[in-house]
Amino acid sequence: MVGAFACLLLVSLVPLPFIVALLAVMVITAVLGALIERVAYRPLRQAPRVSAIITALGCGLVIQNTTLSLSPYARPMPRLFESRTFEFAGVTLNSLQLFIIGVSGVLMLGLDFVIRKTDWGIALRATASDRATVPLMGVPVNRVISLTFAVGGALAGAAGVLYSQAYPVVGAAMGALIGWKAFVAAVIGGIGSIRGAVLGGYILGVVEVTTVVVLPSTWRDLIAYSLLLVILIFKPNGLLGSAAQQKV
């Protein structure tokens, strides 16, 4: 939502090419992400896990309602992308859809590479694995966590821009349902697994679209969330998640 609004604001001030606008929005939301971590998460670092979830919901409400007070009505998003429709092997596609798939693919592969291979990715995984110990190995935990929130913010910003190109109406509440869907996708794939989240996202998408074809479209979310429940019953750690085994 912030990403979409930032994009709308930017392009209404200066006519930027799409890619430049996308990158600028990612920088803005990255800064916002790091800021949120500093203000809302860092003071709660030692608090129980539930506090982090509550602060996350709280931040969401603050940001949504701030936007709502500044812009009470939904606004149209200008098309920044010349879209052409063509047919390929019996499937109708337009270049915007291909572009979205392409950009998200590049971002996902990039993230996967960074987390797996780079020093920062190792520091991130080490911090996630044992936050108390890794500072003793010289890992600057505060900086690692700030950077993680910045990267998360940048990716969310990119998602907001892409989404608002596909569904060009921008409003304060637009992120809420997407946020829930993203959460469902992450749970389906296995919390903590990036590849799992990607897989979960595609599964959820395919299930939703198939539902609409076969059943009345109002059943879409019912089926999607039921899928979540079924997966939680049979695979509580998600499809690619690993169970944290506690040695007794």
For another protein, the closer CB: 85 or 118:
118
| Neighbouring C-alpha atoms within 13 Å toward the C-beta of 166 | 16
Q: Point out which span in 112-120, 203-211, 221-229, 230-238 binds another protein (CB under 8 A).
A: 112-120
**Pick from 126, 166, 223, 239: which binds another protein (CB under 8 A)?**
126
Does residue number 107 form part of the binding site for another protein (CB under 8 A)? Answer: no
Q: Point out which span in 56-64, 125-133, 203-211, 216-224 binds another protein (CB under 8 A).
A: 125-133
Question: Minimum distance from CB of 32 to another protein (Å)?
Answer: 17
Does residue number 133 form part of the binding site for another protein (CB under 8 A)? Answer: yes
Q: What are phi and psi of 118, to 5 degrees?
A: -85, 165
Does residue number 139 form part of the binding site for another protein (CB under 8 A)? Answer: yes
What is the Cα–Cα distance from 161 to 100, expressed in whole angstroms?
10
Does residue number 138 form part of the binding site for another protein (CB under 8 A)? Answer: yes
**Pick from 58, 140, 205, 236: which binds another protein (CB under 8 A)?**
140
The contact mask relative to another protein for 144-173 (x = CB under 8 A, - = no) is ---x--------------------------
**Pick from 9, 58, 143, 177: which binds another protein (CB under 8 A)?**
143
Question: Minimum distance from CB of 206 to another protein (Å)?
Answer: 29
What is the Cα–Cα distance from 229 to 208, expressed in whole angstroms?
15
Q: Which residues bind another protein (CB under 8 A)?
A: 118-120, 122-123, 125-126, 129-130, 132-141, 143, 147, 242
